[in-house]
């Protein structure tokens, strides 16, 4: 009997190879392709302005960093309160490699040729991965909150260290040249917005595919094993310490790539972009999206970043109700974001990804109820 | 169908009003109305909004409406950049910045978008190359303010040996801005910098003060914001160090709030700034009072130097718009060139500061002079005339 | 039983926790391809001994050699790679994963592809996954877990989870299988299933089994050799019939009467 893979309500796979596929049905694959086409068309929509481009571009860049955070925190179960610092390592690596090595070596002028990013992004990621592995070393001995404190310590050391390195301009802005995309210099928000939309999106897709593949391979399973039961993982021939360290390294790589794109996007790097509060924002994005789910790290950052302008408007409105002596507006934003995180932790600890799962199941079974 | 006609009619009406409306000059501001440093930012934004309204009410730029868009960025760079770009969508001609970090990061963007940036941050690095063509400071830089304090120490120091100074700076680019220049100047002036203490905010500075006391520190120069300085002053009072150490600070350490927060302990504190104080009998201060009262601001705002800051920033840009309007359309380009001609006969003297505002191709600092003020009987009193730091051009020539 | 033929040689092992000896001078030899049971009253040190073998505890002194390789000082994952698998007394499965994923995890060291190959999940990586999936399916078949293949472990019944625990240890493709009370808390039918599996493991797969079990009836029935521990010391050893009649064992267990 031929199986219609467009509509199927159960698992009809016939080989182990088929069972490895990511998508259950052709219709899911098709809807993903439609969604990607939609994403590709978005920059041409009339409503896209500079502000929206910035929100979306930043969402893409942060998504890459949050994917990494989800690998170490969601899948490997190690709390990481320093993801912004890893992103900072990537950004500073990109800037210093360009300034001190690539520019003299390749005789770059005022712009960077586009092919250079093929070297720069992986290299920045690699530097951040090495730092990530180093910061992850205490996970051989430390667990849970103690490890979280170690990552927090890294965040603090990073901010302090950059602030005290003349080499890094003491955290003040360091310039990185703009890209030259086959003759077009990517500068000015009119071109930067759409260009980095596609650029970050493509990198994001590549990273997402890599993440998906890692997760369905033995390396991904090992992460989950260490999270669920590191004693048993040990007995399965998995080295729990090493697994945690490489989880940190992968996470660092993602953050590093995000940091390098962030640096190219802004044209300069400043230490304040990689502060503790950004790290906590990343954690919040991962939690709201859904820890330990691939989809969660894709939805979380966009949700939080798009929410921000609304909260801003709302807190401005709230301030008009209260007398000006009470600074409600200042309290409003952190309160609302705090509240969202707490509500998610209590009522939907699996995050937005769970809503997505339920939605997907609904369509999968349609027209049946179950 | 009826609804459709009504909405069409409304649309048409809207189109007509915009067509016949006065031309607009869009000035964007992004700063901390909420979040960190919002106790300063909320007054700056009031000053900007009020001066804009005043300019429109008084028709300061004939034929044009000044549209000041102000948006909160919670002291977050990402938000500052987002606001900046959203103003570009509204054809902004000039941008008023706030945080040091955000302004530093925007240097690239100002060059690429050809939109000038001037703001509350007085970091000298903002107008250093590269990407400094469109960057301006409304008043003297932190570096010059701090150096003027060093010069005062060198001149007024009594006793043998080099005067011993401790610096207390914010742990950020904002705080570190003048440190490098200060070290160079200290060497020239024969002043010893014992320690540069970085801090964000602390609750207790007793240990730090005792350490300084043991090291024989005679002067403290702060490059920080008011509240920690007030805490330091209070601790110093408790330790009986107010007579031993002379406390001083750059622009954001002083002002009325410092006296409110520190009380008696603020006595003798020396402050370096380019602004007049609201209680001084100066035309600008009278204007500040008039504007504040006209637009319903409370007494706190009217007596705030940060309110003056906002007024000054808006007034400089509006003056540039006026100059640009004299010779044609106000566009991004004409606005920028008008700003650069603001010298000689075109010098602008709104009376908010101790000197006139002047800009040119080589001079991106608006008010070039500053004064030192000291707290005497609970009030800041000028102890010098308006002057320029002599060492500043030596250690930091235009870059 | 001669010591030379033994696959695993435990020699004079002492395990002490701050002055308290959990194991005192225990010497045991385990023959390949046989079922060896370790019995003893509660607190006799049976599980401690397994922990020493599998590396969770480090013996204070003495040596444990597996096929001539010293195990003392090695980590559990290293010992696991040498071919010693362990099923835990208190089920230690990855409760959030499916049965299939739990078993695939046990293939970790057998999946021979590098991290970079995993990024693309194509070619070698995919082949390796399929080959090992086939192996896992063999174990699923062997342990009769077909209907639970895709079920999340946390949602299964106790008896099934015990079986999955054993299946996972078996998936490691070990030379020596350590089973810590695989029948605890089971009813007669389930126990019979497990006994059948243990006998099949020995017969079909030629894997040596070390069994810790309280049900002496089962132990005496299926074991090739029995060691008896009490208060951390070996008090008797031999084939089941001999051990059952050993006066020291009888005293330790019931204080006089015969065991069976």
A327 vs B contacts (CB less than 8 Å): 34, 38, 42
**Domain C1-83+175-260 superfamily per CATH:** P-loop containing nucleotide triphosphate hydrolases (3.40.50.300)
* A236 to C118: CB separation less than 8 angstroms, yes or no: no
Q: Where are the domains of chain C?
A: 1-83+175-260, 90-173
CB of B77 within 8 Å of a chain A CB? The answer is: yes
A158 vs B contacts (CB less than 8 Å): none
**Nearest chain A Cα to C96, which residue?**
A228
Mutation pick from B30, B31, B49, B72 vs chain A, by most beta carbons of A within 10 Å, is B72
Residues B148 and B128 in one domain: no
Q: For residue B359, is it within any domain?
A: no
Q: Look at strands C6-17 and C20-31 and give their pairing.
A: antiparallel
Q: What is the pLDDT of residues B204-219, one digit of tens each?
A: 899 999 999 999 999 9
Mean pLDDT of B11-24: 59
Mean pLDDT of chain C: 86
Most confident of A69-83, C83-97, C215-229: A69-83
Q: What is the pLDDT of residues B224-244, one digit of tens each?
A: 999 899 999 999 999 999 999
Residue A23 has pLDDT above 80, yes or no: no
Q: What is the pLDDT of residues A139-192, one digit of tens each?
A: 888 887 888 999 999 999 999 999 888 888 888 888 899 999 988 888 888 899
Residue C148 has pLDDT above 70, yes or no: yes
Q: What is the pLDDT of residues C50-83, one digit of tens each?
A: 999 999 999 988 999 998 899 998 999 999 999 9
Q: How far apart are CA B341 and CA B324, in angstroms?
A: 10
A160 vs B contacts (CB less than 8 Å): 171
pLDDT at residue A369, rounded to an integer:
63
Distances (CA, A) of C47 to A227, B135, B368, C51, C54: 24, 74, 82, 6, 10
Q: For residue B233, is it within any domain?
A: yes
Q: How far apart are CA B107 and CA A180, in angstroms?
A: 20
| Residues C218 and C192: beta-carbon distance below 8 Å | no
Mean pLDDT of C103-124: 85
Residues B268 and B387 in one domain: yes
Q: What is the dihedral of CA C189, C190, C192, C196, to 10 degrees?
A: 140
Mutation pick from A76, A133, A210, A217 vs chain C, by most beta carbons of C within 10 Å, is A217
Q: Residue C210: which of C198, C192, C193 has the closest Cα?
A: C198
Residues B334 and B195 in one domain: no
Q: What is the pLDDT of residues B366-397, one digit of tens each?
A: 999 999 999 999 999 999 999 999 999 999 99
Q: What is the pLDDT of residues A102-116, one digit of tens each?
A: 988 988 888 899 999
Using CB atoms, which chains have 3+ pairs under 8 A with C?
A: A
A218-228 and A240-266 are packed helices; what angle lies between their axes, rounded to 10 degrees?
110
Domain count, chain B: 2
Provide the number of CB pairs (under 8 Å) joining chain A to chain C. 107
A50-69 and A276-289 are packed helices; what angle lies between their axes, rounded to 10 degrees?
80
pLDDT at residue A344, rounded to an integer:
86
pLDDT at residue A173, rounded to an integer:
85
Q: For residue B12, is it within any domain?
A: no
Residues B215 and B301 in one domain: no
* A50 to B171: CB separation less than 8 angstroms, yes or no: no
* A228 to C96: CB separation less than 8 angstroms, yes or no: yes
At residue B10 the predicted structure's pLDDT band, cuts being 50, 70 and 90, is low
Q: How far apart are CA C111 and CA C124, in angstroms?
A: 10
Chains C and B touch (3+ CB pairs under 8 A): no
Q: For residue B111, is it within any domain?
A: yes
Mean pLDDT of C82-103: 88
Q: Domain holding B160: CATH number?
A: 3.40.50.2300
Q: What is the pLDDT of residues A289-306, one digit of tens each?
A: 998 888 889 999 999 888
Q: For residue B178, is it within any domain?
A: yes
Of chain A, the percentage scoring pLDDT greater than 70 comes to 90
Mean pLDDT of C185-210: 88
Residues B198 and B242 in one domain: yes
Residue B22 has pLDDT above 80, yes or no: no
CB of B197 within 8 Å of a chain A CB? The answer is: no
In which element (H, E) is residue A257 found? helix A240-266
Residues B28 and B135 in one domain: yes
Mean pLDDT of chain B: 90
pLDDT at residue C1, rounded to an integer:
42
| Residues B343 and B136: beta-carbon distance below 8 Å | no
A20 vs C contacts (CB less than 8 Å): 121, 126, 129-130
Of chain B, the percentage scoring pLDDT greater than 90 comes to 77
Q: Look at strands B192-199 and B164-170 and give their pairing.
A: parallel
Of chain B, the percentage scoring pLDDT greater than 70 comes to 95
At residue C4 the predicted structure's pLDDT band, cuts being 50, 70 and 90, is very low
pLDDT at residue C2, rounded to an integer:
42
Distance from CA of A159 to the nearest CA of C (A): 32
Residues B288 and B230 in one domain: no
Task: Please name the residue that has the structure tokens 């005062």.
Answer: B152
Mean pLDDT of chain A: 87
Mean pLDDT of B290-295: 94
Residues B114 and B81 in one domain: yes
Q: What is the pLDDT of residues A315-366, one digit of tens each?
A: 777 777 776 656 666 677 778 888 888 888 888 888 888 888 888 777 777 6
Q: How far apart are CA B288 and CA B47, in angstroms?
A: 9
Mean pLDDT of A305-320: 78
At residue C254 the predicted structure's pLDDT band, cuts being 50, 70 and 90, is low
Q: For residue B385, is it within any domain?
A: yes
Smallest Cβ–Cβ distance between C119 and the set A17, A214, A231 belongs to A214
Q: How far apart are CA A138 and CA B313, in angstroms?
A: 51
Mutation pick from A22, A218, A292, A354 vs chain C, by most beta carbons of C within 10 Å, is A218
Mutation pick from A126, A236, A253, A349 vs chain C, by most beta carbons of C within 10 Å, is A236
Domain extent at residue B169: 142-273+370-395
Distance from CA of C147 to the nearest CA of A (A): 13
For A:148-207, CB contacts with B below 8 A are: 160, 163, 170-173, 175, 178, 187-189, 193
Q: What is the pLDDT of residues B192-204, one digit of tens each?
A: 999 999 887 777 8
pLDDT at residue A5, rounded to an integer:
59
pLDDT at residue C241, rounded to an integer:
86
**Nearest chain B Cα to A273, which residue?**
B77
Residues B266 and B383 in one domain: yes
pLDDT at residue B147, rounded to an integer:
96
Q: Residue C137: which of C184, C160, C104, C111 has the closest Cα?
A: C104
Residues B63 and B136 in one domain: yes
C217: tokens are 């009836």
Residues B161 and B242 in one domain: yes
């Amino acid at each position: 009997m031929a199986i219609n893979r467009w509509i199927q309500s159960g698992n009809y796979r016939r080989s182990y190879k088929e069972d490895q596929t990511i998508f259950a049905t052709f219709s899911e694959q098709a809807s993903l392709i439609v969604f990607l086409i939609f994403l590709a068309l978005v920059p041409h929509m009339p409503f896209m302005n500079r502000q929206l481009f910035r929100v979306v571009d930043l969402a893409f860049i942060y998504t890459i960093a949050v994917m990494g955070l989800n690998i170490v925190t969601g899948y490997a179960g190690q709390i990481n309160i320093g993801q912004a610092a890893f992103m900072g390592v990537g950004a500073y690596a990109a800037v210093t490699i360009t300034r001190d090595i690539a520019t003299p070596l390749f005789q770059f002028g005022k712009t960077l040729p586009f092919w250079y990013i093929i070297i720069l992004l992986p290299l920045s990621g690699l530097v951040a991965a090495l730092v990530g592995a180093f910061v992850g070393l205490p996970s051989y001995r430390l667990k849970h909150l103690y490890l979280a404190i170690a990552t927090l310590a890294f965040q603090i050391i990073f901010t302090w260290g950059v602030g005290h390195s003349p080499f890094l301009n003491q955290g003040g802005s360091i310039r990185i040249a703009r890209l030259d995309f086959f003759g077009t210099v990517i500068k000015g928000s009119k071109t930067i917005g759409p260009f980095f939309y596609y650029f970050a999106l493509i990198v994001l897709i590549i990273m997402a595919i890599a993440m998906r593949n890692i997760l369905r391979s033995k390396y991904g399973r090992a992460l989950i094993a260490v999270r669920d039961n590191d004693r048993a993982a040990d007995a399965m021939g998995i080295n729990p310490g090493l697994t945690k360290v490489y989880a940190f390294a992968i996470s660092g790589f993602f953050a590093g790539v995000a940091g390098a794109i962030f640096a190219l996007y802004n044209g300069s790097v400043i230490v304040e972009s990689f502060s503790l509060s950004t790290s906590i924002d990343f954690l919040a994005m991962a939690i709201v999206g859904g820890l330990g789910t691939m989809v969660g790290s894709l939805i979380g950052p966009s949700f939080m970043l798009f929410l921000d302008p609304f909260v801003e408007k709302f807190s401005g409105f709230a301030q008009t109700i209260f007398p000006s002596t009470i600074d409600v507006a200042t309290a409003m934003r952190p309160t609302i974001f705090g509240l969202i995180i707490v509500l998610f932790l209590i009522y939907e600890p699996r995050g937005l990804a769970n809503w997505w799962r339920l939605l997907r199941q609904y369509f999968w079974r349609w027209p049946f109820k179950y | 169908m009826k609804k459709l006609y009504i909405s069409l009619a409304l649309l048409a009406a809207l189109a007509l009003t915009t067509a016949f409306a006065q031309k607009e000059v869009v000035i964007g501001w992004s700063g901390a109305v909420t979040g960190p440093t919002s106790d300063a930012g909320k007054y700056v934004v009031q000053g900007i909004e009020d001066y804009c309204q005043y300019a429109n009410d008084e028709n300061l730029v004939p034929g044009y409406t000044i549209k000041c868009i102000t948006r909160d960025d919670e002291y977050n760079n990402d938000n500052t950049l987002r606001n900046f770009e959203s103003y570009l969508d509204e054809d902004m001609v000039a941008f008023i910045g706030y945080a040091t970090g955000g302004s530093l990061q925007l240097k690239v963007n100002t060059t690429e978008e050809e939109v000038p940036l001037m703001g509350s941050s007085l970091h000298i690095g903002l107008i250093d190359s590269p990407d400094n063509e469109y960057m301006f400071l409304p008043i003297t830089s932190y570096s010059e303010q701090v150096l003027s304090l060093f010069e005062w120490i060198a001149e007024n120091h009594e006793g043998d040996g080099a005067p011993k100074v401790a610096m207390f700076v914010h742990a950020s680019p904002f705080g570190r801005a003048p440190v490098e220049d200060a070290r160079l100047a200290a060497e020239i002036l024969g002043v010893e910098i014992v320690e540069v203490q970085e801090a964000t905010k602390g609750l207790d500075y007793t240990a730090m003060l005792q350490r300084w006391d043991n090291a024989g520190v005679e002067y403290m120069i702060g490059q920080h914001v008011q509240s920690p300085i007030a805490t330091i002053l209070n601790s110093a009072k408790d330790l009986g160090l107010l007579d031993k150490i002379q406390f001083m600070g750059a622009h954001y350490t002083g002002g009325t709030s410092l006296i409110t927060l520190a009380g008696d302990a603020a006595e003798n504190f020396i402050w370096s700034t380019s602004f007049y104080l609201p209680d001084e009998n100066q035309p600008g201060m009278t204007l500040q009072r008039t504007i504040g009262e006209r637009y319903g601001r409370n007494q706190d705002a009217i007596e705030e130097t940060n309110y003056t800051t906002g007024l000054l920033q808006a007034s400089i840009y509006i003056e540039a718009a006026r100059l640009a309007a004299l010779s044609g359309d106000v566009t991004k380009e004409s606005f920028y060139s008008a700003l650069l001609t603001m010298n000689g006969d075109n010098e602008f003297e709104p009376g908010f500061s101790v000197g006139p505002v002047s800009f040119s191709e080589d001079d991106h600092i608006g008010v070039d002079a500053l004064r030192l003020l000291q707290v005497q009987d609970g009030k800041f009193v000028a102890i010098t005339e308006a002057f320029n730091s002599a060492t500043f051009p030596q250690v930091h020539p235009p870059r | 039983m001669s010591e030379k033929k033994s696959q695993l040689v435990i020699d004079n092992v002492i395990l002490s926790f701050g002055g308290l000896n959990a194991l005192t001078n225990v010497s045991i030899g385990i023959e390949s391809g046989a079922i060896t049971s370790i019995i003893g009253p509660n607190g006799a040190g049976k599980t401690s001994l397994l922990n020493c073998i599998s590396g969770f505890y480090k013996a204070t002194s003495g040596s444990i050699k597996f096929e001539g390789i010293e195990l003392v000082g090695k980590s559990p994952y290293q010992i696991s790679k040498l071919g010693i698998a362990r099923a835990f007394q208190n089920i230690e499965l990855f409760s959030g994963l499916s049965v299939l994923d739990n078993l695939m995890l046990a293939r970790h060291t057998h999946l021979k592809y590098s991290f970079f190959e995993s990024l693309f999940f194509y070619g070698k990586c995919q082949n390796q996954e399929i080959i090992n999936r086939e192996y896992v399916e063999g174990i699923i078949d062997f342990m009769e877990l077909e209907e639970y293949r895709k079920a999340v472990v946390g949602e299964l019944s106790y008896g099934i989870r015990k079986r999955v625990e054993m299946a996972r240890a078996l998936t490691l493709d070990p030379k020596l299988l350590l089973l810590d009370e695989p029948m605890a808390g089971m009813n007669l039918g389930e126990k019979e299933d497990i006994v059948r599996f243990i006998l099949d493991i020995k017969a079909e797969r030629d894997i040596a089994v070390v069994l810790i079990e309280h049900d002496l009836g089962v132990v005496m029935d299926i074991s090739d050799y029995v060691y008896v521990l009490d208060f951390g010391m070996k008090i008797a050893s031999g084939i089941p019939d001999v051990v059952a009649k050993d006066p020291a064992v009888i005293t330790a267990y019931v204080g006089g009467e015969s065991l069976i």
